[in-house]
Chains A and B, each alone.
Chain A
Amino acid sequence: MKKTPLRPFAVLLVPIAGSLLLASGCATPATYVDANSSHLVTNVGQINVQDYASAADSMVNSLIDNLINQGQLKSSSAGEPALLAISKIVNNTSQQIDTDMLVKKIRVALLHTGRVQTTTTMGLGGPEDPLAADQQKAQEFFEDNKHARRPDYTLSGKIIEQKSKAGSIRQSAFVFQLSLTSRHGIAVWEDEKTIVKQGSTSSVGF
């Protein structure tokens, strides 16, 4: 039987075409993911969004359980929620992070308890809301009455990173430390949450 010259090429074309079809079908298009889902990307050397949520959840639980639910949270104004101001949150990691990723979640959760409110006109480095601060000063001026409450508590803390490596396994531990200090300078609540992540070393770099 006469062999056609195109037959070997036809034999090669089928697997090549099949591979191309398979590769194009396997490409993952961009898609939305629920921010609270357990299918988020996890990086060993980075604090991911779910880590902030987990740390904030742990801290808020601890605050409510050990302070608020025990009736230990005191307000200087009777009948009003305690006033909280945000102090220094130190970033002791190798990344540039916005500590509000943690602190804002805690503030919102505390506000929802109905027992704590946060001031936005007083804080380390200046007011968070400069317009609100100006409005407050103007009101005090016109009323000739300085009625701004001093915060009952201040929130301060630190985020620390610790890296380890053993063979092909690399590990990053992120330690979230927070303290709630009363106006007498006493830490009435403190807690620490550690998030540890492990992964195998990539062929290039750490």
Chain B
Amino acid sequence: MQTQMKRNLFFLAGAACGTALLLSGCGATMNTIAPADTAAQHRMISDRRIITDTCLHYSVQPIGINTVTGPGGFLKIQIELQNTTGSMQKFTYRIEWFDENGMIINTPTAAAIPRMIEGGETLFITATAPTDRAKDFQIKFLGSD
């Protein structure tokens, strides 16, 4: 009798775990469709990364950065991020700009910008330098609750 009860409880627990796993795999994530032969030329640059939050780095992965300098001489950047998890992730980012001597350029609008990225989504963040003196940059990411 007791063995039968234990067996039933074990079976119920296994069924509950299996259902939970099945439901989590069926959560809403982002599907993306794009042309197979893209006409856009992405000028990706090599980057260096300092990772202190491995959870954020794994869940919201930077795919690459491409840059372009406009006719006015202002540097424009674009960062591609991908949410490798199945659930929505929140984070903030901040971009710091440096002149040709490596000195930081202070701007009044420098702030941590909050963003959300859906499960499986690829997100593009763009920014234009605040001055044509800006020749270098770095982007800081921070995970949010």
Contacts and interface: CB of A to CB of B under 8 A. Distances in A.
Interface residues of B, number: 26
B117 to A, nearest CB: 16
Interface in B82-113: 92, 94, 105, 107-113
Chain B interface, DSSP helix/strand/loop, else mixed:
loop
Contacts, number: 74
B111 A54 contact: yes
A64 B111 contact: no
Interface in A113-141: 113-115
B94 A36 contact: yes
B70 A36 contact: no
Size range of the interface on A?
A: 20 to 34
A100 interface: no
Contacts of B76: 65, 69
Nearest to B140: A38
A89 interface: no
B131 A70 contact: no
Given A38-B144, A64-B130, A112-B130, A53 B74 contact: no
A39 to B, nearest CB: 9
A202 B113 CA distance: 26
B58 to A, nearest CB: 20
B72 interface: yes
Contacts of A106: 109
Contacts of B112: 36-38, 50
Contacts of A53: 108-111
B128 interface: yes
A37 B111 CA distance: 7
